[in-house]
Structure 1
Amino acid sequence: MTSIQVRVIDCWVFHRLEKELRFLIMKRNDGLQYEGLFHCVHGKIEADEAAWQTALRELREETGLSAKAMWVADYSSQFYEASSDTFNLVPVFACEVESIDIKLSREHSQFEWLTVSEAKRRLAWQNHIQAIEQISRMFTQDFPQKKWLEVSFE
């Protein structure tokens, strides 16, 4: 029987440039799964971690950045893996950062800070496009529910 798992997170990192959000997207290195694709901070949840803790850890490991603030996105991702007959639910987070000086891990070969429309042209997966659209809506339109989605991590 097909199993349902929550084993990875997506974390969309952004900073504000005047009144516009800029999202960090990174290109996967050659020789790795999904090589050459642009995506967000992504990683496996360790046994002793909450999903939001994984997002903060992966943010540091993949970029060298620390979050100024963090929210649960008004969106969850999902995908099916035929090799393991597993349906994956993916918690999605939004992290605002102040610094834009990235220290890429070996997983990535390059990065860009892009507007939503620019990022949508680079992203391969519809789940990623929907995630940044929802996160952008949370921060650029009237979205009072955002206060209930903020993660307290200090």
Structure 2
Amino acid sequence: MIPVRCAVVSGIALSEVNGQTKILLMKRTKGGFWCHVAGTVESNELGWQTIIREFKEETQIDVGDLYNGQYLEQFYENNLNTIEVIPVFVIYCKPNQPVIINHEHTEYKWCTLNEAKELAAFPGQKVLYDHVWHYFVDNKPSELMRVKIG
């Protein structure tokens, strides 16, 4: 038997950078691969609270415009022998959003969709970025997907 584990959430940040919509990717210190924000849900948190905390810790971005991404990242984690299921959130940042990365990352980059997919280490990331681009950039998300903060 392979258990299903859902202990992590992730988030995609979008910003208009010099007039063009871009996705934030960061290069992980551990593993050296490019990724978006993610983190473990603490015992006293709801998933949406976790992603707000993780954005602050990893990027110093204050989340104000939060959406349920209507997407679950999923993959087999061989070290734990589990199927990992990770709810995705999407945030809209102010134009030319500044980023200050923490020790978990060595660098960051605001990417076009194609750049993000080229940097993505895993096939699931590429599919996720296409999903986010379609439902949050090319189209306006439903207000039913908005997460009311506070």
Tell me, yes or no, whether TM beats 0.5. yes
Of 114, 119, 124, the match for 2:121: 124
* Correspondence for 1:12: 12
Of 139, 143, 148, the match for 2:136: 139
Partners in 1 of 2:60 and 2:79 — Cα distance? 33
Q: Give the residue type in structure 2 aligned to 1:57.
A: R
What's the CA shift string for 1:123-144, capped at 9, x where partnerless?
111221111111111123345x
Of 33, 48, 54, the match for 2:50: 54
Partners in 1 of 2:71 and 2:52 — Cα distance? 18
Partners in 2 of 1:135 and 1:12 — Cα distance? 8
Given the superposition, is the C-alpha separation of residues 89 and 26 from structure 1 closer, same or farther in structure 2, using an over 3 Å criterion? Answer: same
**Which blocks of at least 5 consecutive residues in structure 2 are unaligned?**
none
Give me the TM-score of the superposition, normalised by structure 2. 0.91
* Aligned-residue RMSD, C-alpha: 1.6
- Superposition map of 1:105-116 within 5 A: 105-116=102-113
Q: Give the residue type in structure 2 aligned to 1:93.
A: F
- SS state at 2:148 partner: coil
Is the 2:17–2:110 contact (alpha carbons within 8 Å) kept by the matching residues of 1?
Answer: no
**Which blocks of at least 5 consecutive residues in structure 1 are unaligned?**
none
Partners in 1 of 2:22 and 2:129 — Cα distance? 10
Give me the TM-score of the superposition, normalised by structure 1. 0.89
How far 1:18 sits from its partner (Å)?
A: 6.8
The count of residues paired between Structure 1 and Structure 2 equals 149
Given the superposition, is the C-alpha separation of residues 26 and 142 from structure 1 closer, same or farther in structure 2, using an over 3 Å criterion? Answer: closer
Is the 2:75–2:85 contact (alpha carbons within 8 Å) kept by the matching residues of 1?
Answer: yes
Q: Give the residue type in structure 1 aligned to 2:65.
A: A
How far 1:91 sits from its partner (Å)?
A: 0.2
Q: Give the residue type in structure 2 aligned to 1:8.
A: V
> Is 1:101 aligned with 2:93?
no
- State, as a whole percentage, how many aligned pairs show the same letter: 26
Partners in 1 of 2:139 and 2:109 — Cα distance? 27
